[in-house]
Structure 1
């Protein structure tokens, strides 16, 4: 039957008509999919964001990494609600024989999916210098743990799935298979990362209570725990971070440039201020005509900067999304994300520059301090920055008239107030003759 299509979110892409066993409602950039059977009953609902990173060997016996988000042009021909022997399956195909498939199976009162990702190194656009040609398939369980039937799996944090040379980052997930009568459940199974703070607090309370009880009743010492990761630094750096230069390439052509000093400021739980070291920071991500992603990773800290082109008459871009991940310990990860930002606005084809320190408020407990910024996420030519559009903080020619104008306005208001007061006093002095 004909597929019904709907678009959600901030980015609009061309519509297409699909012919499937059932119908599919979908969005690209973020998957937002309902797979339906011939009776128009939903058997699988999946909404999620996916980043894929692939490490491959080149003809020069070196290794490169290509990273991308799922493109806008997707095919869903293999999606099905299954039958008596197999469960529902969402099959996404794109490009030159690449596919991303998640199939589900149930057992007793739980269900779980398996992601099977196949990529083709014959694709000269993604793998222009691959040494080994052909199809490569990797698979992994998702969700990481089985989910109870009649519940929705939810995870706003980034979950990382590694299979051989492929790393998949999945977040903003709302997922349910085997829907009862086609209706999505109102009961959630939340991923561990989303409740890590609560779990850590509860675990600490339990450990404290056990320690007090043990001290009161028995001298027996608790078992020695595994050595933890070294603690994250808690001292506030006196100096601002060093400035680093980063770039991304598409088919050996530079497609994104960024120069900045990056400082992470966390006020949640124990306050942390962490400087990114340009000598150890690794840049990755992807370039696109509408969306570009720059990921900076330093040790246990990672920040994703997502740039998007605005839907306006004159094409402009801005920083619309930031994701922060900090591995605090073996069992605790700090996450913060904001997908409705509007920073660093400039015309497509130009760069954005701000020499003064800027503070980006991601969430109430997470901020980024940016120093000596210059960035161009689209239309980079000859590995060079285009003419920069400067931030207001740098533009003294704008700030000085504003300050002077404000001072003059205040002076005029004071004169008017003094005049009115003086007039009232003069009237009060007259007597009738």
Structure 2
């Protein structure tokens, strides 16, 4: 008997390179007739769950006199299922398997509210809110439970930990994404995640995590005006950077960021942040954006992406070479004065930080602006949504006033995920197994 929801994260090959796919155990999952309670005088039994177009999740159990466990988890997935695995380079069924740490005392229910991950090669299965029991003496779960280690309470008087040192700068790594017409995205950068969340002991903390390229797989996809870089690792379920090109202006910029992160000490272990209305790392098509200092991109109020020694170019990439660089000059191409009439908006407001200095001229009522040379790279524009200006007025204090930034809740255009919903139990007439299936809603 089993009651759980499950998320599958897979990596598969396409004609344009590796692709990541995340999907949930669907509401239509069924217990297969091949499930077994074990033959006479044998201790092995199995739970076989089928769903979709030929996908199968199998849990094989063994026992001794005092304990039982999930000896093996096996997942067989059909790459011919174009709805789940679009543009797959291969067809047919691929099978992966791994041993697990799921175990409990005989005549007790294995219970684990926390997430449990099982890594099987190119597939990671994450179980949530799980109740599992094999070799039952009745048709119901036993009231006695064996809790997983993740659910065990921490000591009431733990020793005071030393302060967590800030992580060092992340490793700079070169990423590339190619399509049918060659490379569409070339990026060299170090990535650091800055997240704010509430812990299980009801404390709000802000922590930084470096993306380790040696433990991270990456892929992406290309189209005429959209280039996507996707990264995944053990705890970093998914980080997606989405670059777009405005065909009318030939401007290229980072528009969307999506993060799915597992935080074991968080009140909600699944951390998600999405913003599809950014305008950062901007350059003209055919050019590359480069900045040797740390860039902090505020994605949401609880997540910022820190970029180190970033050098990126999307679209019109010549092989593996970056195009001419922009971004190191602080925005303006020269140090000249910009003359504006009173109340007029600067024509290049999106080009970087300017120090505004009101110098009234009684004859012409003009303003002078000088560039700040201490800022080596321009500030990412429209962080947390679209940044608007009230225009320049007659005092320096008024000139520095800006409308508050806000997040535009626009839908993510190309990345979708599934979330677990209510559970409905189904059973197979030929066995005593049952599985609870989640109802799925799109993100």
TM-score range, shorter chain: 0.3 to 0.5
Higher relative contact order (CA 8 A, sep 6+): 2
Greater helix share, structure number: 1
